[in-house]
Amino acid sequence: MSQAQPQIIKAPLKFMVPMEEKPQVFMSVNQAEPNKRTGEFQIAELEIADSRGAAEQPELDREGFELVDSPTAVTNFYDEKQITDVYYPECITLLKTATGAREVHIFDHTLRVQDDSKRETHGTRLPVPIVHNDYTEKSGPQRVHDLLEPEKAKRFLAGRFAMVNVWRSFGQSAERYPLATADGRTIPDEDFIAVDIVYQDRTGEIYQNAHSPGQRWYYFSNMVPNEALLLKCFDTAQDGRTRYTAHTGFENPNAPDDTPPRESIEVRTLLAFD
Model confidence at 5, in pLDDT bands (50, 70, 90)? Answer: low
* Domain containing residue 111: 8-15+22-50+58-272
**Would 3 be classed as within a structural domain?**
no
What's the number of domains the chain is made of?
1
pLDDT surpasses 50 at 1:
no
> pLDDT (tens digit, 9 = 90+) per residue, 131-180?
999 999 999 999 999 999 999 999 999 999 999 999 999 998 899 999 99
Query: 222: helix, coil or strand?
Result: coil
Sheet holding 263-272, edge to edge: 65-69, 227-235, 161-169, 263-272, 103-113
- Output the CA torsion 59→61→65→69 (10° steps): 50
The whole-angstrom distance between residue 160's C-alpha and the CA centroid of its chain comes to: 20
**Would 216 be classed as within a structural domain?**
yes
What is this structure's pTM? 0.94
Q: At what angle do helices 139-147 and 150-157 cross, to 10 degrees?
A: 150
**Would 2 be classed as within a structural domain?**
no
Q: Summarize the confidence of residues 100-125 as an average pLDDT.
A: 95
> pLDDT (tens digit, 9 = 90+) per residue, 173-196?
899 999 999 999 999 999 999 999
Sheet holding 8-16, edge to edge: 8-16, 41-50, 217-219, 179-182, 247-249, 132-133, 203-209, 192-198, 24-26, 36-37
**Would 1 be classed as within a structural domain?**
no
Model confidence at 34, in pLDDT bands (50, 70, 90)? Answer: confident
**Would 115 be classed as within a structural domain?**
yes
Pairing of strands 103-113, 65-69: unpaired
